[in-house]
Amino acid sequence: MTEEHVIVCPCCQARISASYVVDVLPDEVIASESARRMARRQKPHPGPGRPQGTRCPGCGDKMKKGAMEEHRTVCVAKRLRSLCVRRVKIRVSPSDPSPDPYFAIEDAGEKNFRLREISNYQYVDIGICAVADIDEQKQEKDVRIRVLGRLNWLAREGRWQFAASKIGRPRAG
């Protein structure tokens, strides 16, 4: 023998059977509520077009978030040091327009690296955690470094300044 579920109305205290409520409700309401409850039970996962992991800007290896946090800063610092030794021209993006947009890496430490503008020896320090991508073109003689922020030219002071963005910053390991 099946038990009948009874629903008590919070307004009028009337007792209604659950099967009667299901019969009276439109199918759209039941389907939308069922879909909402099923969605709450699902585990979140990357949707179509979203990568399962991220790529390290230093070596290009694809890895999960936990492994990336330990690996990223060490790898990017090592890559920047190798670019410093090779004395390649660096283009930083995004940055303010400049007639001579080339920089050279002067020094790369554990947390920061120093760029020197080739034409006028202006220096700017950037955090290693702000490096989003290092793109080395084989055909061209320069390397493009994309940063999370913007390299600004302060005309009144006659120097470069790095303004880090707050959104999308990877955490330092």
What's residue 114's pLDDT? 92
What's residue 1's pLDDT? 45
DSSP state of 155: T
Place of tokens 């009948």: 4
What's residue 52's pLDDT? 66
b/e 98-120 (16+ beta carbons within 10 angstroms → b):
beebbbbbeebeeebbbbbbeee
pTM for the predicted model, two decimal places: 0.63
What's residue 173's pLDDT? 43
AA identity, residue 16:
I
**Alpha-carbon torsion (127, 78, 72, 147), positive or negative:** positive
What's residue 68's pLDDT? 82
Positions of the chain with pLDDT lower than 70, given as ranges: 1-3, 44-52, 139-140, 167-173
pLDDT digits (tens, 9 = 90+) for 47-58: 666 666 788 888
